[in-house]
Amino acid sequence: MVAGKTVCLRQLSRGNRALEVRFNRFLGHDKVTVDRIIESWSNSTGPAVEGRHVLAIQDTSEIHFNTTPQRRRGLGEIGKGNNHGVLLHPLLAVDADDGSCLGLLSGQIWTRAGRRTTSHDDRELSDKESQRWISTAVAARPLLTKAAAVTVLGDRESDIFALYASSAKQHFHVIARSMHDRKLADRSSLYEASDAMAAVDQRMIQLPARAARPARLAHLELRFGAIELARPQNKLLHHLPKSLPLAVVDVREINAETGIEPLHWRLLTSHEVTSIEDAWRIVQWYKQRWIIEQFFRILKTQEPQARRQSDRIRRSASQAGCDRRQGGRHHHPASAGPQWWSPAHSRGLRQRPNWRAHSPQPATRSREQATKEPTSAR
């Protein structure tokens, strides 16, 4: 459906009635549930994490499907409410030491039923979309028992006190980019404290290209220090510890060219950061977040490699005498799974996928954690 860019089974089957019926039967089967499909993502990830320090990287992405006001096909609003589709929030395992991708761990897929009318602060965490950051990490716990260490890693959306508390409880480490200034246990503010820390090192770091930004070499200045983060003053959070000991690693770009918004990351982490090397290591790990953005991009745009592969499958299928236009009764063994699931089906669709690779304004931000902060260099 993502590759074919539609949830309409008839369109996905491209006029092939037998295919449409099979598709319908598959999805209508009692054993085919969203939970079971998500569970299957991680089949081979559990063994792969053994003995490693795993970066458990999570992020949310919007998957947009074309609908009409008359026919929403059960899809809720995404973006600023101008599009309809589903939200995908996966947790990806990456080896912290060598950056290799170990597979998916857990995740959530949902569509919004409507708009919220209660203000964000008055809702229990379980009633907020931001709960996904916590529950997705907790769901991966059984798969990570053999990992040497686990660091839950996310962008500014994951700057959630309850996530830091939950990670400590799970014996997970955490790295998150700060979204907003917070109170520290001594009543001072996080940003005041990090601004007051001495700049201890400088380094040039290559930043990969993003949607609205070319790749560039950034000249960064480093600060770090231990902090005691105070629990936010919200009666719904009273069950959490009064404060949490964390470290802040502050990297900010100096000498940025005019017209370029300087990068400024304030990374909050439970890892011990006592040396310059420790602090740069946190920055390096945070940079691995780029891998999940690549994952979304490949999923949504059917990168050339996937297309080439689908061409190969189609060619070998026709060589083997399987004519897909004739009812598709014969499946070539090279195509993984039923034909309608094969990437070959994305070919020939009239519209080019218009997914936006990691939308610059994820709906979850506008709904849950609306902020006036700039969206670049997340």
Query: Quick one: 133 or 164, whose CB is closer to Mn ion?
Result: 133
Count the neighbouring beta carbons within 10 Å of the beta carbon of residue 174: 26
Least separation in angstroms between CB 200 and Mn ion: 29
Question: Min. distance of Cβ 287 from Mn ion in angstroms?
Answer: 15
Least separation in angstroms between CB 362 and Mn ion: 6
Complex with Mn ion: residue 157 or 253, whichever CB lies closer: 157
Residues 6+ apart with CB under 8 A from 296: 59, 61, 88, 357, 358
Rounded to 10 degrees, the C-alpha dihedral 297/301/306/310 comes to: 160
Of 52 and 177, the one with the shorter C-beta distance to Mn ion is 177
**Structure-token pair, residue 308:** 């080439």
Single out the residue of 263, 267, 293 nearest to residue 282, CA to CA.
267
In terms of CB distance, is 87 or 93 closer to Mn ion? 87
- In whole angstroms, how far apart are CA 75 and each of 69, 87, 224, 320, 363? 11, 10, 44, 39, 14
State in angstroms the smallest separation of the CB of 100 from Mn ion. 22
- Using CA atoms, how far apart are residues 160 and 135, in angstroms rounded to an integer? 13
Tallying the residues shown for the chain, one arrives at 378
Q: Cite the DSSP H helix spans in 147-231.
A: 161-169, 190-196
Strand partners, 243: 230
CB 221 within 8 A of CB 145: no
Q: How far is the CB of 61 from Mn ion (least distance, A)?
A: 8
Query: Is the CB of 231 or the CB of 365 nearer to Mn ion?
Result: 365
| CB closer to Mn ion, 157 vs 250 | 157
Distance CA 303, CA 173 (A): 33
Residue whose CB is less far from Mn ion, 345 or 358: 358
How far are the Cα atoms of 29, 65, 184, 186, 230 from residue 189, in angstroms, in the given order?
54, 43, 6, 9, 10
**Min CB(315)–Mn ion separation in Å:** 38
Least Å from the CB of residue 59 to Mn ion: 4
Binding site for Mn ion (CB under 5 A): 59, 155, 157
